[in-house]
Chains A and B, each alone.
Chain A
Amino acid sequence: DGGITQSPKYLFRKEGQNVTLSCEQNLNHDAMYWYRQDPGQGLRLIYYSQIVNDFQKGDIAEGYSVSREKKESFPLTVTSAQKNPTAFYLCASSIDRSTYNEQFFGPGTRLTVL
């Protein structure tokens, strides 16, 4: 099956720890995205990548880091600098960043800071 996978589904972190969320796609899409979802706020863009070894900050990049070493993988690290990391994180991809192409979403990772 083609699609986007995210792991783990649930993640618990102690304060002061870095954690990495996995996102993999087998759709051969060039562009990949990370969003954060909080109740009543919709989705906010953290980072995006148009091509391997290139990525750009979104609207709320502080406290997060990414890498894009392979086309199919776009992991997100939530660092200890992120003050309020408890949220639902969604990864997405699109064929490219043309304005006509929809984004396909993974099932999400729910991160809770203990």
Chain B
Amino acid sequence: AQSVTQLDSHVSVSEGTPVLLRCNYSSSYSPSLFWYVQHPNKGLQLLLKYTSAATLVKGINGFEAEFKKSETSFHLTKPSAHMSDAAEYFCARVRGQNFVFGPGTRLSVLP
């Protein structure tokens, strides 16, 4: 099945330390991939997207993600976490002409 896996349901980091949120996809080809962020009781906001151009994608708010076909991964990173980064993060891929979303990773940032 063409799916998306987010290995961690919850990640907790201290403010100022690096963030790593993991995403793996299952596919025999290189799909379009996206990362979205959702703050409580809000809609989703696009952080970045990969569409078969550069494998290292830079997004908003200092986030970036690297597409690794050999590992079928698209992990999201940020060098230094800020309190405002605390939110739910969703990895998504295109399946046919629709999106498939992972279950989400909740990021907590400790002072």
What residues of chain A have their CB less than 8 Å away from a CB belonging to chain B?
4, 6, 33, 35, 40-45, 48, 58, 88, 90, 92, 97, 99-100, 102-108, 110
Contact = CB atoms under 8 A, between A and B. Distances in A.
Contact of B103 (A41, A97, A102, A110): A41
A35 B36 CA distance: 14
19 contacts: A33-B98, A33-B99, A42-B103, A42-B104, A43-B90, A44-B101, A45-B98, A48-B98, A90-B44, A99-B94, A99-B97, A102-B34, A102-B46, A102-B49, A105-B43, A106-B43, A107-B42, A107-B43, A108-B43
Nearest to A105: B43
A45 B99 contact: yes
B104 A40 contact: yes
B32 interface: yes
Interface string B17-48: 00000000000000110101000011111100
A50 to B, nearest CB: 8
**What interface size band does chain B fall in?**
20 to 34
Contact of B32 (A100, A107, A108): A100
A97 B45 contact: no
B43 A90 contact: yes
Nearest to B32: A99
A32 to B, nearest CB: 12
A89 B9 CA distance: 21
Given A99-B97, A105-B36, A107-B42, 14 more contacts: A33-B99, A40-B9, A42-B90, A42-B104, A43-B44, A45-B98, A48-B98, A90-B43, A99-B32, A99-B94, A102-B34, A102-B46, A108-B41, A108-B42
B14 interface: no
Contacts of B94: 99
A88 B36 CA distance: 17
B51 interface: yes
